Amino acid sequence: MPVSDDAPPLEDRLRSAMDAGVEAVEATAGVPVADPADLGRRRVAHHRRRVAGRGAAAVLLVAVGVGAGVVLTGDPGGDDGEEVAAREDPTTTAPARTDGVVIAAGQELPVVAPSLDRPLQGSGGLLRGETDTGLMASLPIRIRPLDRPWYAPPILPTVPLFTRTLDDGTTIAVAGNRYDPAIYELPAFWEPPAQCFPTGDLVVSIDRDGTRWDAVSNRYDAVVAGDLRVAAAPIGPAEDRWLAVVQGPPGTATIRVTFPGGVSDEMALADGVAVLTAPVVDGVEIGGSDPIDDAPAAELTAVALDAEGAEVARYVGPWTLVDDTGEVDVPEAPVRRADCAWPTTLPAPGPEQPADPAAAEAAVRAVWDGAFGRPGVTTDAQKLAVVDDPRGVAEGLADAARFRDVLDLTDDITRIDGVVFTSATEAHVQYTIDPGFEQGRPIPGMFGELVLVDGEWKVTRLTVCRLVILGNGRCAPLPTG
């Protein structure tokens, strides 16, 4: 927009714009609530809003006591209704242990879809081998004190994995879940190596001296050889005790962590996870836990040992979260795995192609453009008509329209950049989202799938529901059974 010479200074116009933006937000969301109790309720409502839309998986857990353990059953499908097969569910049933660890048995992890923001919030911890996939791969650890009336913890559906009891009476209960893979919008043709993406949450609840703290970290189905997943932070009202959540590579039997000051703890893996704790030594500068302190933090050492006590992996480094933006000083650049890089091209064509590939591609493009290439023109009903299984999609479109927070399905254009047929009945498209606002940066490299149903190309339900997720909505879950 051309600006006249007598226009107010940019700074003033910017101030006015920011005032207008805040006023617009508060016109719909209200003035930020400064009452502690009210804020707590708002926070619960916020999380409920996000979780409830994800369907029964979040809440339909039925506990049935079986022997010493607990069996929990829930919706085995993702909330997009897609069948979600856990690659390696932690369902260990171990014999009685003598190290204070009691392993829950027979549980099935509930499937949840992490909200767009929740996995990104981290207040400390470290990741070894962190990826730069441009996705939500980074929740080292978050500490959740539950001793403040105004604090409302996130609602995370989980099932218990194991409980560790320390000599001083402290109990550490570990629970887990698994993510609905749809949230990652992985192209259907790409199977990323393990450890590229967190596959669930680990919720660690520490009860000590009548105070409970929750720590939330990522869970991975597998850790690659030679690597460790380590999340650590001080916990407690005075941050007087370390907590580390560690997952080891194949062959790991035991994890040993030496915290700053030389205190250490060791634990045999339970369900692939070890939770280590030790007191913070007086006088040891822990660093990093201070939310305003970017200084390099104290180092800890985590070692994975096999059954014979031989070392299979080691991490030595700071416990603070490293920053990968390059914008701030960081003690150490994150290690990046090239094989986790997001695909940038479509797969190779399959051996079987449509009888008339050109006509098939034209049909695919017409279906796609008709549904997603004409913002403001195509109705939701028209979009639903081209979905192979539209159950729950209408709710998702309405959900996304309500939030209008990330992707606006009524304004943003999706433009096909390429089409590949992996079979005569399966098409993969690569597309770009053009945000429907001025100066909006296009989001390229999106992938979607279409299938041939009764002679007509249909967009898969998962493809549409991924778009809905981008719009901060959720498709309604498919009925189970």
* Closest to another protein by CB, 121 or 480: 121
> Least distance in Å: CB of 328 to another protein?
7
Which three-class secondary structure state does DSSP give residue 295? coil
Which 186-225 positions form the footprint of another protein (CB under 8 A)? none
Among 59, 60, 71, 406, which residue sits at the site for another protein (rule: CB under 8 A)?
A: 406
User: CB of 326: closest distance to another protein in angstroms?
Assistant: 6
Counting contacts by CB under 8 A, is residue 443 touching another protein?
yes
Q: Output DSSP code: residue 83.
A: B
Rounded to the nearest whole angstrom, what is the least distance from the CB of residue 271 to another protein in the complex? 28
Closest CA to 236 of 273, 275, 289, 283: 289
Residue 37 burial by CB count (10 A; 0-12/13-18/19+): exposed, middle or buried?
A: exposed
**CA separation for the pair 128, 229 (Å, rounded):** 6
Do the Cβ atoms of 80 and 477 come closer than 8 Å?
yes
> How far apart are CB 143 and another protein at their closest, in Å?
8
DSSP letter at 263 equals -
33 binds another protein (CB under 8 A): yes
Minimum CB distance to another protein smaller for 268 or for 406: 406
- When binding is defined by CB under 8 A, the residue of 57, 104, 126, 135 that contacts another protein is 135
Near another protein in 144-183, by CB under 8 A: 144-145, 148, 150-151
Binding mask 358-397 for another protein (x = CB under 8 A): ----------------------------------------
Residues in region 13-32 near another protein by CB under 8 A: 13-22, 24-25, 27-29, 31-32
The residues pairing with 54 across neighbouring beta strands, listed in sequence order, are none
Binding status of residue 83 toward another protein by CB under 8 A: no
Among 87, 99, 121, 402, the residue binding another protein under the rule CB under 8 A is 121
Alpha-carbon span 256 to 63, nearest angstrom? 34
Using rule CB under 8 A, residue 240 touches another protein: no
Return the beta strands (E) in 170-209 as ranges: 171-176, 178-179, 200-208
| Cβ-based nearer residue to another protein, 345 or 480 | 345
**444 touches another protein by CB under 8 A:** no
Tokens of 422: 């992996």
Stretch that binds another protein, among 80-88, 129-137, 376-384, 393-401 (CB under 8 A): 129-137
Instruction: Please report how close the Cβ of residue 224 comes to another protein at its closest, in angstroms.
Output: 21
DSSP E strands, 81-199: 101-103, 111-112, 142-145, 159-165, 171-176, 178-179
Candidates 237, 357, 444, 479; binder of another protein (CB under 8 A) is: 237
Instruction: Dig out the tokens for 305 from the structure.
Output: 């040992």
Interatomic CA distance for residues 422 and 373, integer angstroms: 23
**Of positions 57, 101, 136, 196, contacts another protein by CB under 8 A:** 136
In the region spanning residues 298 to 337, those forming contacts with another protein, defined by CB under 8 A, are 321, 323-330
Q: Give the residue, chosen from 291, 351, 376, 481, that forms a contact with another protein under the rule CB under 8 A.
A: 291
Stretch that binds another protein, among 119-127, 161-169, 297-305, 447-455 (CB under 8 A): 119-127
CB of 20 to another protein, least distance (A): 5
CA–CA dist 105, 52 (Å, integer): 27
Determine the Cα–Cα distance for residues 160 and 385; give it in Å rounded to an integer.
Answer: 42
CA distances to 159, 187, 359 from 175, rounded to whole Å, are 5, 29, 52
- Give the integer Cα–Cα distance in Å for 164 and 240: 19
- Distance in Å, CB of 29 to another protein, minimum: 5
- Which one of 64, 85, 292, 348 is in contact with another protein (CB under 8 A)? 292
Burial class for 370, CB neighbours closer than 10 Å (0-12, 13-18, 19+): middle
Between the two ends of the chain, the Cα-to-Cα distance in Å is 56
Site stretch for another protein (CB under 8 A), options 97-105, 121-129, 303-311, 384-392:
121-129
Looking at the Cβ atoms of 24 and 63, the one nearer to another protein is 24
Minimal distance, residue 441 CB to another protein, in Å: 6
Q: What number of other Cβ atoms are within 10 A of residue 166's Cβ? A: 14
Choosing from 429, 470, 475, 476, the residue that interacts with another protein (CB under 8 A) is 470
- What single DSSP character describes residue 270? B
Please state the separation of Cα 326 from the chain's center in Å: 23
Contacts of 349 (CB under 8 A, 6+ apart): 420, 421, 422
Specify the residue, 6 or 327, whose C-beta has the smaller distance to another protein.
327
Which positions from 38 through 57 interact with another protein, judged by CB under 8 A? 39, 42-43, 46
User: For another protein, how many residues bind (rule: CB under 8 A)?
Assistant: 78
Residue 428 to residues 26, 269, 362, 422, 473: CA-CA distances in angstroms?
41, 41, 13, 7, 23
